[in-house]
Chain A
Amino acid sequence: MKHIFEFDPNKCCACSACMIGCMDQNDIDLSDETCFRKTFHNEIEQKDGDVYFAYLSVACMHCADAPCIEACPVGCIRKDPETGFTIYDNTNCIGCRSCAMACPFGAPRYRKSDGKMVKCDGCNTRVKNGLQPACVRACSFGALTCVTEEEYQASGSDKACSALIDSLGLRRK
């Protein structure tokens, strides 16, 4: 069953529980790396003098048509046919940052200790075992959710992270 991350910025407060959930799940070693998800609470001054108070939680969007997959020269990255998440096996990763150059969202991250790329895999194994991704599990406010494609269609929502890439005009038509 394909899964879709949804994000509602009007429910987010950048409390970063999602980041902690990610650290706990992925045993992130903070001395060497940061976690796959990032939150933002920026105050953005606009030209008209107004300030936009942004609260965001961002990780891999698991784009329906993920540009990182074809960008990887070693073929590390692929789609999981069951969940639809953009997963990877970095055994052969050469740390060339081609995936980072392809990703409009800055999701792939270079890990210095082993010279390899890492990124959010949607907690693929958890989802396959009937659990929620760790970040979603940690969100108390319903800002970050993960639903099946069927549930998404039925909900009439327009907040799929995987479709964000469409809005960027990058996707093949």
Chain B
Amino acid sequence: MKRFAIIGSGCAAYHAAKAIRERDKEAQIHIYSDNDLGPYNPMLTTYFVKGAIPYGALFPFGSREEIQSRLDLCWHPNCPAAGLDPEQKAIRLGDGTEEAFDGIVIATGASAVMPPIPGLDLPGVFKMRTAQDAVELKERLESGTIKSALVIGASWVGIKVVEDMVEHQVPCTLVDGAKWMFFVAAFEETARRAQKDLEAKGVQVACEQMLDHIEALPGGGLCAVMQNGRRFEADTVAVCIGVRMNVGFLRDSGIAMNRGVLVDAHMRTNYEGIYAAGDCCEAIDIQSGAPRNIGVWANAGRQGDVAGANLAGVPMEFDANILANLAHYLDYDFISIGDVSACKETDQVYGYEDERYYIRAVRSPEAIKCINMIGSADSNGIVRNIFIKSIKEPKAGLDVPAVCQLQRNGFPDSFIEFLGGISVD
């Protein structure tokens, strides 16, 4: 009987456990978690806040107890790994004890970043990542005590916090340190457009604002002071600057790392028998061929599956890793597919706009690089798939069903041409 360990208890961890169990009925599977909850989805927190789902729905696979019994797991709540000995495939726990296994999946996820900036510990300043964060904000919003809000960070979480505020009729300002919104995903033109549309919904937006500190105002309320001296006052400040991978315990263990754990297409680390999955790892981005963490829920699940299957002895690859970011807020949707930073001055730029769609996209003669679309939610999967296919088979062109769908959904033929034209076998 084999013994496996999974470090972490999020989406990737769950999928890894499930993938092992589906292939190995006998194995012992140990889960080491830094909390006592079941796997929850950080993306759902803002939806819980706005009342779209009950608390239980934050846990899409069920409670810890349910999962534990369904998959027959040895779950160690509040028992995080403090270190790892990859040679021995051993985990070191907080009390110093070590436990060796036949295989390990590192799935420790990521945490919201709270940089060392003065004032972040003031009452009224909060982050949004954990279930507890969500519960607290929801209580405050529903008690009606929030009269104005400042959201720092036009990230995917930040924009959803903005939505929560707007839907509770709380005047809201969004500030971001970058030159424009959604900086890591949006072209400047797209971002300007999205900013204008957001402002039309009553949200103040200010970019290029680096937070210096937050101070309490004498008459109550908070003031976020920027490095450029600009001051933003509100009684509530949400800090949504970003996330950091939970890999501190691996430092100097010998596991190869960049910002996160480096893995190959099988989700294997540089050590046999040790895999990583989810927000703590960097898999190969097929667009650049370089490792990159693409921290979305679906990737975490897939990667967990792949890691678990390989551990259980069934070879499997994770090979469709591309950047794709979808922001959906206030009846508005923006998607970016591909790497905006890969675009060069000399590349071909495609632009299109009508009542329904806004498209801006860039390609070289060889490959599509990045596509920004607004209003395209129904077709995002089709376009994303075309993008993936274009990387794998650059000359293939679009298949007939994809062309039919895009035409029906009102995309112009010029866009179809841009994406690679039509291919009929």
A contact set with B: CB distance below 8 Å: 38, 40, 42, 44-47, 52, 54, 56, 58, 67, 70-75, 92, 94-106, 108-110, 115, 168-170, 172-173
Given contacts A94-B53, A102-B298, contact A168 B389 (CB under 8 A): yes
Question: What's the Cα separation between A38 and B378 when bound, in Å?
Answer: 13
Contacts of A74 in B (CB 8 A): 41, 44, 53, 57, 60
Contacts of B408 in A (CB 8 A): 38, 40, 42
Contacts of A40 in B (CB 8 A): 401, 404-405, 408
- Of chain A, the residue at the smallest CB distance from B335 is A101
A172 contacts B306, C-beta separation under 8 Å: yes
In the assembled complex, the CB of A34 is this many whole angstroms from the nearest CB of chain B, namely: 10
How would residues 293 to 317 of chain B score, 1 for a CB under 8 Å from any chain A CB and 0 otherwise?
0000110011001100000000111
- Among B316, B379, B388, B409, the residue within 8 A (CB) of A173 is B316
Contacts of A102 in B (CB 8 A): 298, 381, 384
B contact set with A: CB distance below 8 Å: 15, 41, 43-44, 47, 52-54, 57, 60-61, 297-298, 301-302, 305-306, 315-320, 324, 326, 328, 333, 335, 377-382, 384-385, 388-389, 392-393, 400-401, 403-405, 407-409, 421-422, 424
- Among B44, B400, B409, B421, the residue within 8 A (CB) of A52 is B400
Given contacts A52-B424, A56-B401, A74-B60, contact A105 B389 (CB under 8 A): no
17 A-B pairs, CB-CB below 8 angstroms? A38-B405, A44-B400, A46-B422, A54-B400, A67-B302, A70-B301, A70-B302, A73-B44, A92-B60, A94-B44, A100-B377, A101-B335, A105-B381, A105-B405, A106-B382, A115-B52, A168-B389
A101 contacts B57, C-beta separation under 8 Å: no
- Of chain A, the residue at the smallest CB distance from B413 is A45
A47 contacts B60, C-beta separation under 8 Å: no
Given contacts A44-B422, A71-B297, A92-B57, contact A173 B317 (CB under 8 A): yes
- Of chain B, the residue at the smallest CB distance from A7 is B401
B403 contacts A98, C-beta separation under 8 Å: no
Contacts of B301 in A (CB 8 A): 70-71
Given contacts A44-B424, A101-B380, contact A172 B297 (CB under 8 A): no
B403 contacts A44, C-beta separation under 8 Å: yes
- Among A44, A52, A104, A110, the residue within 8 A (CB) of B382 is A104
- Of chain A, the residue at the smallest CB distance from B15 is A70
A172 contacts B316, C-beta separation under 8 Å: yes
Given contacts A70-B302, A104-B381, A172-B318, contact A98 B297 (CB under 8 A): yes
In the assembled complex, the CB of A53 is this many whole angstroms from the nearest CB of chain B, namely: 10
- Of chain A, the residue at the smallest CB distance from B41 is A73
- Of chain A, the residue at the smallest CB distance from B57 is A92
Question: What's the Cα separation between A124 and B400 when bound, in Å?
Answer: 28
Question: What's the Cα separation between A73 and B54 when bound, in Å?
Answer: 14
Question: What's the Cα separation between A74 and B297 when bound, in Å?
Answer: 10
Contacts of A95 in B (CB 8 A): 52, 328
B404 contacts A110, C-beta separation under 8 Å: no
Question: What's the Cα separation between A106 and B406 when bound, in Å?
Answer: 10
B319 contacts A172, C-beta separation under 8 Å: yes
B405 contacts A97, C-beta separation under 8 Å: no
Question: What's the Cα separation between A166 and B302 when bound, in Å?
Answer: 16
Given contacts A38-B408, A40-B408, A172-B318, contact A110 B377 (CB under 8 A): yes
Contacts of B379 in A (CB 8 A): 106
In the assembled complex, the CB of B323 is this many whole angstroms from the nearest CB of chain A, namely: 12
B305 contacts A70, C-beta separation under 8 Å: yes
Question: What's the Cα separation between A70 and B301 when bound, in Å?
Answer: 6
In the assembled complex, the CB of B138 is this many whole angstroms from the nearest CB of chain A, namely: 15
Contacts of A106 in B (CB 8 A): 378-379, 381-382, 405, 409
- Of chain B, the residue at the smallest CB distance from A47 is B421
Question: What's the Cα separation between A97 and B375 when bound, in Å?
Answer: 12
Question: What's the Cα separation between A72 and B382 when bound, in Å?
Answer: 17
Contacts of A109 in B (CB 8 A): 378
Contacts of A96 in B (CB 8 A): 43, 47, 326, 328
Contacts of A38 in B (CB 8 A): 405, 408
